[in-house]
Structure 1
Amino acid sequence: MHYGAVADGKTDDSQAFLKAWRDACEYYGRSRVWIPRRVFFLNSVTFQGPCNGSMAFLIKGRLKAPTDPRSFFTETWIGFKYIDDLTVKGGGYLDGRGQAAWPYNDCYRNPRCKPLPATLRFDFITNSKVNHLRSINSKNTHINLFACRNMEISKIRMTAPASSPNTDGIHIGLSSNIKISRAVIQTGDDCISMVSGSRNIEINDVSCGPGHGISVGSLGRSHETEYVSGISVRNCTFKGADNGLRVKTWSPSLYSVASNLTFQDIVMQNTGNPILIDQQYCPFSGCDPKVTSRVQIQDVTFKNIRGTSSTRVAVNIQCSEDRPCKNVKLIDIELAYNGRGGQAMALCTHVLGSSYGKQIPKGCI
């Protein structure tokens, strides 16, 4: 069954979208909401289930977010919640118009900053797909996954200026069996971030940069029992990113575990910190450098990582004195420093592991 969103394209079209969703969701069978090739203006909306059949949300047009500051301080622009067998696709544009909101983002110095909306937020979504979309200038994260299971995200392009704050491409928490592939992510924060409770995440064929790299963490600030495990990042390219492959834990932190992390067949092009484990992560003031992280990092493999580093320390593995990293492997690493001041370096602290094959810079394990 096909339901179209009927709207005038000049005023807030949220109610028309919600009506089309409710009609489709109540139908017993396969339903879809069709967004035609026009411009639509939406305030914060959440499309909620459960529905009586599989759902498709097909975006052909351009959806535009509000620029009135009174509409900024919420966690969601377009949300989907409690739905099984959902498809969101269509080739359309999601324009977060973040330029109006970024000056309000002071999270880099204020841990109690007000929320800004994720462009797409998925909560408690299962057995679903997101593909063939473009998200531009998000106010905050482009795509946020929370408590999701069995999702595929592919053929997505996310762009925001390198200077835009907290515009992560894809942020994943408390979710499992997530596959991300064939994506181009150019943002002002992590291209992909995986925090507490992320399990069995497969990332393949992603181009990252500008941005802060593909990150596991930050971990250990809360969620003591929600471990991270089974992360696979393969066949990805980093172009001018501030970081490459990064694992970061808060210091100080609660006890937690990050294990079975594989980073393989990666190309770095003028990338800062290509390989980085940072267990002294603390972007805010007031941290005590004498207090170490209690997050246990173990079973980590970096294999066939090659290219150029924009920072001299191309391999930087700084683990916790309290809980040293265990079973870290460096296999066939070839990273050249493209700046002045000497050749690339590798620094390792409180790490137990081994090195195999080519090691440029010379391995520190």
Structure 2
Amino acid sequence: MGEEWWSRSCKVNSSNTCREGPTAITFHKCNNLNLRNLVMLDSQQMHIAFTNCEEVRASNLKVNAPASSPNTDAIHISSSTEVTVINSMISTGDDCISIVGNSSNIEVRNVSCIAGHGISIGSLGRAHALSKVEHVLIQNVSLSHTKNGLRVKTWQGGSGYVQHIKFQFAQMENVSRPIIIDQYYCDSSHSCANQTSAVRVKNISFTHIKGSSATEEAIRFACSESFPCKEIELEDVQLSSSSGGITTMFCWNARGSTEGRVYPLPCPSFDDSVIEQKSIPGVISYSKSS
């Protein structure tokens, strides 16, 4: 019966007071948990959350809510380790799967995401928080008509790291912004202040990522000036335009390597040890609602 809650959301009506809604099901401090064959419909906000859990296996799940429903993350993983999510179909109005600090050894396989905001690591580091996410494998996933594809998002001012992340064998269909690393994430109605500290991002690989982008900018790496993204790997990435035009890649303080065919063409600065760009108009203090 989530619709009653969605209509009161500040993301639906800016005159409403922003407040948290309930998560439909939360598993807290569970060990050796096996969750399977569950259907979830129209949660008030997040559908399923695993918090402070260890050794979780979630399989054959179906999660469904309208694309317009706010904050209805399907599966949210927080401060947990050894979590596996497999063989599931998800269609919601927010993140298909979200992984936040402090989580490690997470595996997502054979998951289909329709509409919503894609698969996200983050957001991390809000309100100067310390966040650590590492050893994550996202493999054999499909994303269709989502607002984002495979994303890492961190707030300015945080600390900690995101590292050893592998996105492999993903199929995109008409996805806006299929690949994103965003260290300037700002989910606020106001611009976020510039800050020098950041959650560090390194050793992130995108391998065998193919399909179509709904936007010209198919790959976006917007990284911190103080702590640039390092060891970003692109291998066999083919992202064409849904409309038949070109696709592009944007880089700001991102350093990495490419292997095999990569399209859109990498930024000239991507493989350089020194970033030559001097300014990034309209990025440092922008705000977003996705």
Classify the TM-score, shorter chain: 0.7 to 0.9
Q: 2:181 maps to what in 1?
A: 277
Q: In 2, are the aligned partners of 1:271 and 1:310 still within 8 Å (CA)?
A: yes
Out of 98, 122, 133, the residue aligned to residue 228 of structure 1 is 133
Aligned amino acid, residue 195 of structure 2 = V
| Paired-residue identity, % | 37
Aligned amino acid, residue 138 of structure 2 = V
- What do the CA deviations read for 1:154-208 (whole angstroms, capped 9, x no partner)? 0000000000000000011100000000010100000000111011100000001
Q: 2:209 maps to what in 1?
A: 305
Q: Secondary structure at the match of 1:227?
A: strand
Q: Secondary structure at the match of 1:215?
A: strand
Distance in 2, matches of 1:129 and 1:185, equals 19
Structure 2 length normalisation: TM-score? Answer: 0.88
Q: 1:174 maps to what in 2?
A: 79
Q: 1:203 maps to what in 2?
A: 108
Distance change (3 Å), C-alpha of 1:152 and 1:111: farther
> Is residue 116 of structure 1 aligned with residue 116 of structure 2?
no
Aligned amino acid, residue 34 of structure 2 = K
Q: 2:247 maps to what in 1?
A: 344
Out of 15, 18, 40, the residue aligned to residue 135 of structure 1 is 40
Distance in 1, matches of 2:128 and 2:54, equals 19
Q: How far has the Cα of 1:99 moved from its partner?
A: 1.2
Q: Secondary structure at the match of 2:7?
A: helix
Unaligned runs of 5+ in 1: 1-96
Distance in 2, matches of 1:333 and 1:128, equals 35
> Is residue 188 of structure 1 aligned with residue 64 of structure 2?
no
Q: In 1, are the aligned partners of 2:122 and 2:154 still within 8 Å (CA)?
A: yes
Q: In 2, are the aligned partners of 1:249 and 1:293 still within 8 Å (CA)?
A: no
Distance change (3 Å), C-alpha of 1:171 and 1:223: farther
Q: In 2, are the aligned partners of 1:196 and 1:223 still within 8 Å (CA)?
A: no
Distance in 2, matches of 1:261 and 1:181, equals 17
- What do the CA deviations read for 1:287-319 (whole angstroms, capped 9, x no partner)? 345435511001000000000000111111111
Distance in 2, matches of 1:217 and 1:339, equals 30
Distance in 1, matches of 2:16 and 2:196, equals 20
RMSD: 1.8
Distance in 1, matches of 2:240 and 2:99, equals 28
1:209-288 equivalence runs, <5 A: 209-222=114-127, 224-251=129-156, 253-288=157-192
Distance in 2, matches of 1:151 and 1:222, equals 29
Q: Secondary structure at the match of 2:208?
A: strand
- What do the CA deviations read for 1:90-109 (whole angstroms, capped 9, x no partner)? xxxxxxx1112111222686
Point out the more displaced range, 112-121 or 188-197.
112-121
Structure 1 length normalisation: TM-score? Answer: 0.70
- Structure number with greater CO (CA < 8 Å, separation at least 6) is 2
1:69-148 equivalence runs, <5 A: 97-106=1-10, 113-148=18-53
Q: In 2, are the aligned partners of 1:280 and 1:293 still within 8 Å (CA)?
A: no
How many residues align? The count is 267
Q: 1:327 maps to what in 2?
A: 231
Larger radius of gyration: 1
